[in-house]
Structure 1
Amino acid sequence: MTQFKAITDFDGSRKASGQQARVEDTRAAASDFRKHMLAGPKARYFRSFDLVRLPYPSRYGLRNAFSREKWVEYLHIQNRLFVVQFDTPEGVKTLLVSPSDHERNGETPFFRRLQDKTPDFITNLALKRQNTVPSIIAALGLKPEDIDYITYDHLHTQDLRRWLGTANQPALLPNAKLLVHRQEWASALDLNPYQADWYCPHGLAGIGEDKIVRFDGSIMLGDGVALVHTPGHTEGNHSIVVHTDEGLWVTSENGVSADAYAPHLSAASGVAEYAKALGVEVIINGNTLENSVDQYISMVQEKTIAGPSARDPRFPNVFPSSEMTPFWAFPGAKPAFYVGEAHHGTLHRP
């Protein structure tokens, strides 16, 4: 079993009694970690792929900040897959970040209810399936057995059985193992009703222990790739950090757009005014509110690690796994800065 290197930069950074003191301690730790990452090697390959575009409640995505919430109930978010390759002492490893099985994820209770009460013509208008994980793997010239790892910043809506297999279903990715924070896995197996509304029923059922790699804290996977514990959205939430030619990309669903990490610049209705009025520096994606204080700290942590975007340095180099995207039917929910896509390095085909 591969032994990943523990990241200790954030140890104790959230222990202060004062909440803002925790923010500043974590910001300082994130700044040091950023320097360490940038001084090290880059990942071999990083590329984003669109999977599905779907509606998501504005009251969650831009928590309390969106001024048109009464009239514009939804945002449009673009869900993505990221293919990452990196060097290790054991050779090149291939990681899929957020390989959502969107053909099954619709059974998540919240989205199942939404779909059942929405007329088909509206669903067909607002929901656009673009690619599947298997089709992307094939288009890259990779084989399913070439995938070493999969990971998600958290397990909301995810059904992993097709990828990892069960006793009754062969794994589509036969060699892949799930990298998951220990607390996220434990939580997903024992949910309270509020949280269960956002997890796919039976999505983890029957997956063998040999397919699961739990980790604690934050870890380096190999050259230029880290998983950093960023709790709040869920207790075991982690962010994926990848060193590329565009600097450090930081991916999670703590925020639904770069606007959420620089809200004073946001073009979404009311967000900049809300941020100014409250003095907040991030807007959390708050559908479950497991710990909004920690999530706020985690978003500051993420944007500090990311640093300024090479495309527009006013915004941090964050790449949300589900990014708010313009859609004519949801007026006022257009972001000021849209990442869209990224492609760095050369793919290694075993």
Structure 2
Amino acid sequence: MTRDPEPTGFAQLTQFDGARNAAMPQDRLRAIRHGAEALREQLLAGPPVRFARSFNLLRIPYPAWFAFTGVYSQQLLKPHMVHLLARTTLVQYDDFEGRLRTLLFTPADFEAGNATPYFKRLSDQTPKFLHKAIAPVYQTVLQALQSCGVSPAQIDYITYDHLHTQDVRRWLGSADAPGLLPNARLLVHRQELANVHGLLPVQAEWYCPHGLDDIPATRIVAFDGSIQLGHGLALVHTPGHTEGNHSLVYRTDDGLRVSSENGVAADSWAPLQSRHNGIRRYAQATGAEVILNGNTQESSNDQYLSMVLEKTLAGTSSLHGFSNVVPSAECSPHWLFPGAPASYLWGETSFGTPVRA
């Protein structure tokens, strides 16, 4: 089955307009907090999404000095490498006209993504017999959809907080082959889209070459700023990790969840609560409210502001005392990389009941 594309019908969010314009960083921080508090109240006053569930996809070895920027450089963190568990999140919600919509957040095509220069070099330097042990795959995106009875044709949108390592041609189709998600369109911040087409060398290390090549223009929806897609679901511009980075925000029955790769662990948004001595001591010594995932550091100040935005918007869980920000790629223990500095593990999360095809 196929559907003709409809108008997007998204609502522009204005709470952060001008928030980063002040000359003094502390003034920007106050404006960001104020905007996040206002948007939090707005989203909590509305209904939740119908369904949200995350699925484990694969593990990725990752340098600790990227994952916990600052902490490692102060020699407060011992592991050389950590393991990130990458997930995709499926969300079903009602748009503003009452139609059911289905969105996939960070659906990774990890086979095509291996062409990303940084990971290609890492792979080439590692004996092939170790690949499956170092980077185990748990399931594909299509297997995740099948496990909850949602068909590929139900997916209206796919989106990524940023396009590092992503090749979306398998999902959306190109001149060579039709897409496996026949009705899906890519939602991408306009600045992220512009960057992909004109990367500097330090950025190109993390982007998959040709990941958007030959995709029909009708399958890409670029947006500016922050937008609300429908009831209980928003994409909030959180620049810093990349200039066009955005975070997924969705309303459940117990509050708000934010998903992001600005950080890699619950500790990243609440370092003073960390059970890891090095992270907690770093936060106490510096006053840092957040710990950046800093593999590119396109703008560290903006990323810091964005992580404060995320934790303010998400709020704090009464169950575990950490912010309700779920890393889209979570630092987690693995037998090859013991000692993961993560005080609380989100794991796979689920809310509501899916509407099946």
TM-score normalized with structure 1 length: 0.96
AA of the residue aligned to 1:348 = V
2:162 corresponds to? 154
Q: Distance in 2 between matches of 1:174 and 1:294?
A: 36
Contact 2:262 2:293 in 1 (8 A): yes
SS in 1 for 2:325: coil
- Read off the aligned partner of 1:340 and give its amino acid letter: G
- 1:168 alignment partner in structure 2: 176
Partner of 2:8: 2
CA distance in 2, matches of 1:71, 1:274: 13
Matching residue of 1:131:
139
Gaps of 5+ in 1: none
Cα drift, residue 334 of structure 1: 3.1
Deviation per residue, 1:74-126 (Å, 9 max, x gap) = 11111001000000215100000000011221111000101111223443322
CA distance in 1, matches of 2:280, 2:339: 12
Q: In structure 2, what is the equivalent of residue 99 of structure 1? A: 107
Whether 1:252 and 2:248 are equivalent positions in the alignment is: no
The question of 1:219 aligning with 2:215 is answered: no
SS where residue 299 of structure 1 aligns? helix
Q: Confirm whether residue 144 of structure 1 aligns to residue 152 of structure 2.
A: yes
Aligned residues: 349
| SS class of match (2:236) | strand
- For 1:143 and 1:336, how far apart are their aligned partners in 2? 36
State the shift of 1:268 in Å: 3.8
Kindly tell me: are residues 331 and 269 of structure 1, through their superposed partners in 2, closer, same or farther at Cα, counting changes over 3 Å? farther
In structure 2, what is the equivalent of residue 330 of structure 1?
Answer: 337
Pairwise CA distance, 1:46: 0.4
Q: For residues 1-350 of structure 1, what are the structure 2 equivalents within 5 Å?
A: 1-66=7-72, 72-88=79-95, 89=97, 91-268=99-276, 270-312=278-320, 314-350=321-357
Cα drift, residue 275 of structure 1: 1.2
Q: Return closer, same or farther for 1:203/1:30 CA change in 2, 3 Å cut-off.
A: same
> Is the contact between residue 263 and residue 293 of structure 2 (CA under 8 Å) also seen in structure 1?
yes
CA contact (8 A) 1:147 1:176 kept: yes
TM-score normalised according to structure 2 size:
0.94
Tell me the distance in 1 between the aligned counterparts of 2:87 and 2:45. Answer: 28
Preserved contact between residue 68 and residue 269 of structure 1 (Cα < 8 Å): no
Q: Hey, what's the Cα distance between the residues in 2 that align with 1:90 and 1:70?
A: 49
Secondary structure class of the residue paired with 1:236: coil
**CA positional deviation for 1:139:** 2.1
Give the CA deviation at 1:269.
5.4
Give the letter for the 1:112 counterpart: K
Aligned letter for 1:5?
A: A
CA distance in 1, matches of 2:144, 2:61: 23
Cα distance in 2 for partners of 1:68, 1:140 equals 44
The answer for unaligned runs of 5 or more in structure 2 is: 1-6
